[in-house]
Amino acid sequence: MAHYVITIAREKGSGGYDIAQKLSDRLNIPFYDRKLLRIASDVSGINERLFGEVDERLGKHEMMRAAQKVYTGEVLPPDSDNYTSQQNLFQFQAKIITELAEISSCIILGRCADQILKGKPYLLRTFIHAPLEARIARVAHYSLAWTEAEVKKYICDQDENRAEYYRFYTGESWRDASHFDISLDSAALGEDGCVERIIQALPIFTKG
């Protein structure tokens, strides 16, 4: 099959990570999630911990600022006073995403990749969602010590963080269906069903 890149945005507890991993196994292509932070750290020389601190979440200062599209495709030089700023850390991640996408077929989870790579002919942008009740049940299965109320709050907080991160760095709404080529309900389709739908969509949406 021709060169293609699948981006996966997902609601917390929808199974997006597991779907991405299954896709990677089925298609035999790399899957990037937090691995991007290590790559960005190696390239930039910036401690991976700093990338992790701003990974898909914003501080209170940024959340109070107006949304802006800060990705320019350029990064600041090491001698800049803002070399380790939150914006520049995002620039490094975006630069790595762009370069990896150009090199070979891959799957990228989150990190505004659908917007960073927007317009690329090889791109399939997917969004994985599920009813809140299904997501609560899924997360509760791995968090047995939490009450249902605690699980629900955790899910809602994570979704809010992702939405704010997406809004700040893209100026767009995270749940706007127009940003994605396909949107899949993992509770209705199951993980394997989502994998099949994504694979079926590849030759329709990608021209890499």
Please measure the distance between the N-terminal and C-terminal CA atoms of the chain and give it in whole angstroms.
9
* Dist. CA 186–CA 174, nearest whole Å: 18
* Dist. CA 124–CA 194, nearest whole Å: 14
At 109 the pLDDT is 93
pTM score, whole prediction: 0.86
At 63 the pLDDT is 44
The low-confidence residues of the chain, meaning pLDDT below 50, are 60-61, 63-64, 66-67
* Dist. CA 180–CA 27, nearest whole Å: 21
Q: Name all domains of the chain by residue range, CATH numbers in brackets.
A: 5-205 (3.40.50.300)
* Dist. CA 66–CA 63, nearest whole Å: 8
At 76 the pLDDT is 61
The residue type at 48: E
At 168 the pLDDT is 86
Strand partners, 137: none
The tokens of 69 are what? 């599209």
| Cα-to-chain-centroid distance, residue 113 | 6
